[in-house]
Amino acid sequence: MDKTYLDRGSTSLLKDIDTENYNVVLVSPRAYFLFTPLLPSSTVGTVELRSIMQPIRFITRFKNREVLFIEGSCTDIDPEKKLITVEDSSEIKGEVSKQQIKYDYLVVGVGAENATFNIPGVREFACFLKESWDARKIRSQLLDSLESAAFPGQPEEEIQRLLHMVVVGGGPTGIEYAAGLHDFLEEDVKIWYPEIAGKFRITLVEATPHVLPAFSKDLIEYTEKTFAENKVTILNNTAVKKVNQKDIVVLNKDKELESIPYGLLVWATGNTARPLVAALMTKLGLAAQAQRRGLTVDEHLIVAGSDNSIYALGDASATKWAPTGQVASRQGSYLAEHFKNLYELKKKAPNSDSKVLLSQVDPFVYNHRGSLAYVGGDKAIAELPGNIHLSGAATYFFWKSAYLSNLFSLRNRILVGFDWVKCKMFGRDIGR
C-alpha cells in the first residue's frame, strides 16, 4: 500500500509508523522539520536555527524499510482518482519537475498559513513567524534597524521609528516573540549599541480587550503586568487596518484611525487554511466540509467525504482542540498505531469492508497536558489540568524543560541545551 503524506505533525507519525507493512512516500517542500515553538528565540540568537531543525533523512534512515522522500510541494489532490500532483520545490530544476503519485491512503499534514485577513500591505511589508526563512528575515531586519539607527547623523525622529518594534497579535506567538525581543534588547543590544540604548521600544497590538484569550484571567493579568514592568506597551482593543512600508494604520481603542511608525513589524495574528487544503475542501463538497479553518475529520482523523482514504492532522485539520503542536504530535502517534491496527485486522479478514474494520479500531483521544507561554524577563505562565495556574521564574524552568522534551530528538535537545548555556555565558550572538 502506498501512503503519501506531507508535513509537520507528520513527524511523530513518521517516527512511530511501522514501515514493514506500508510503502511510505513522504512529500515535503523542505527536507527538514522545524520546531516552530522555538522559532521566536532563533530570531534573537537565543537558539540557533539549525538546533531546532531535524533533517527528514535523520528519521527515515532508521526505518525498517526505505521511505521514499520527495522534496517538493503538493499542488493538487484528486480524491476521485487518488492521485496527488507534486512539483519540485527547489530553485534549480531538472528535466522533470512535476509528478503525479498514486496513493491508497493519504495523510495531509501540511499545517496552515498565516492569516492576513486580506489587510493591505501585510504580505509585502510584515514579517511572519512560521518558516526558517521568516526567522532569518526578522533577524536581518532587526539588526539592520539597529545599525541604521546608529548611523551618524540619523535624525531623532527616524531613530525613534527604526527602534520601534511592533508585534501584531496577542496570542502565544506574539507574546513569546515580544518577550524574547525584550530580553535581547535589554540584555544584549544595550551592551553592544550603547549609543542607542534606552531608545528602543516594543509595542504589541491586539484587536480584542486582552492578550492570550485562551488563558485564564489571573494569567492574562500577570502577563500584562510583566509586560508593563518590562516597558513593553500593549495596545488592546486596537486592530491593524493597513500596513505601509514604514507605518501601520490602526483603529485604536477610541475608534479613531492612527498611524504608528515602525522599524520592524512582526505579524502573528493566527492561522488559516492553506490553498491546497481549501481546494480539497471545495472538491469534497460543503456538505462534508463546512468548516473554513481546516479539514473536518472524524474520530479516526479520517477526512469527511473522502471515502476513508484521506486522513488529516495538525493545523491542516479542524478539530475541537486548539491547533497546537501538542495535539498534532499526539495525532501523529495515534495514526501510526491506527495504521498498525488496520493492517492486522485486514490481514485477518482481507475481504472485510473498510467501515467494518474501522469500527474495530480505537478513536483518537487527546488528554490536554496544559498550555505554557514565556512572558519575558525569565518568567513564564502555565495553565495545567486540574485548574493549576503557575507563573514566575520557576515556571520558566518548567517552560524550558517542556520545550526541551518536546523537541524531535536527543540531538535537538543537546543542541538547544548547548545554545542556552552558550547564551548565558557569552550573551546572544549579534552576528548575521
Question: Can you give the binding site for ligand NAD, defined by CB under 6 A?
Answer: 37, 117, 119, 168-174, 176, 205-208, 213-214, 239-240, 268-271, 322-324, 371-373
Residue number of the CB closest to ligand NAD reads 171
Distance CA 292, CA 119 (A): 18
| SS percent in the chain: helix, strand, coil, step 5 | 40, 25, 40
Which letter, b or e, does each residue of 151-166 get, where b requires 16 or more Cβ atoms within 10 Å of its Cβ?
eeeeeeebbebbbbbb
Q: Report in angstroms how near the CB of residue 132 gets to ligand NAD at its nearest.
A: 16
Q: How many residues appear in the chain? A: 432
The nearest distance, CB 31 to ligand NAD, in angstroms, is 24
Nearer to ligand NAD, 27 or 205 (CB): 205
The DSSP H or E segment spanning 87 is: strand 83-88
Pairing mode, if any, of strands 295-296 and 317-318?
Answer: parallel
Q: Residue 243 CB, nearest distance to ligand NAD (Å)?
A: 10
Q: Which is nearer to ligand NAD, 269 or 329 (CB)?
A: 269
CB of 32 to ligand NAD, least distance (A): 20
Within 8 A by CB and 6+ apart from 429, the residues are 45
322 or 421: whose CB is closer to ligand NAD? 322
- Burial environment of residue 413 by CB neighbours within 10 A (0 to 12, 13 to 18, 19 or more): middle
Query: Please, what is the minimum distance in Å from the beta carbon of residue 183 to ligand NAD?
Result: 16
Instruction: Report strand pairing: 113-114 vs 105-108.
Output: unpaired
Q: Give the residue with the Cβ less far from ligand NAD, 22 or 364.
A: 364
- Strand, helix or coil for residue 149: helix
Question: Which residue lies nearer to ligand NAD by CB, 60 or 324?
Answer: 324
Smaller CB distance to ligand NAD: residue 146 or 205?
Answer: 205
Q: How far is the CB of 232 from ligand NAD (least distance, A)?
A: 15
The nearer residue to ligand NAD, 219 or 342, going by C-beta atoms, is: 219
Backbone angles phi, psi at 272, to 5 degrees: -140, 165
For residues 148 and 164, give the distance between their C-alpha atoms in angstroms, rounded to a whole number: 13
> Least distance in Å: CB of 42 to ligand NAD?
14
Listed residue (360, 334, 365) closest to 347, CA to CA: 360
